Chain A
Amino acid sequence: QQQVKQSPQSLIVQKGGISIINCAYENTAFDYFPWYQQFPGKGPALLIAIRPDVSEKKEGRFTISFNKSAKQFSLHIMDSQPGDSATYFCAASSEGYSTLTFGKGTMLLVSP
């Protein structure tokens, strides 16, 4: 049973467009929701993270939107660039940043 469901599995966006990746979770004990970016053959890199006490967090071109009642959160990448082409994983954990449960990942391709 996948505790964190991520969609879409893959995404193609034109340069300058907005990339949107969605995640939903089941466990109401989750209280920390990070997004990781991973390039082929590399380790996941922390992109941005949010806790349930806020509904939105923005860092540069990356924004997390969080809907606690719906148990959903999403990543928006504004002005997407070819260098953003990577696999993005949402994750969740409880009890203060402990063990991460990952979504299945989204392969993003930003076309020039």
Chain B
Amino acid sequence: AAGVIQSPRHLIKEKRETATLKCYPIPRHDTVYWYQQGPGQDPQFLISFYEKMQSDKGSIPDRFSAQQFSDYHSELNMSSLELGDSALYFCASSLSLSPGLAGEQFFGPGTRLTVL
């Protein structure tokens, strides 16, 4: 079965640089979520999109932005990177059971971002 695809899998950046992470949801899934997981930490919700519109917002820094495109893939753009941004970034996708009722979330393999 097709799973969530994330690219790149690993990314190394310098402080103050920018990074773009990409997420390709499971086919037919209409909702995408982004999570940040620090070392030894639980995943922290950043932002989500339903049918290309932002549906919820968590602890996402103002330096970060995201969007969902017409083909339902999503990109997380991170600017002015800081050392503390080093983490695993997960994308998850789900299929809405009905308008406003999201289905189970399936996670991708993650992108490991290292900021030097």
- Residue positions of A touching B, CB distance < 8 A: 34, 36, 41-46, 49, 89, 95-105
Contact = CB atoms under 8 A, between A and B. Distances in A.
10 A-B pairs with least C-beta separation: A43-B107, A96-B101, A102-B42, A97-B102, A44-B107, A99-B56, A43-B109, A99-B45, A43-B110, A98-B102
Contacts of A89: 42-43
Contacts, number: 60
Contacts of B100: 95-96
B8 interface: no
A99 B47 CA distance: 9
A97 B105 contact: yes
A9 to B, nearest CB: 10
Q: Report whether over half of chain A's contact residues are helix, strand or loop; otherwise say mixed.
A: loop
Interface of B: 4, 33, 41-45, 48, 55-56, 58, 90, 92, 94, 97, 100-110, 112
B38 to A, nearest CB: 12
Contacts of B45: 99-101
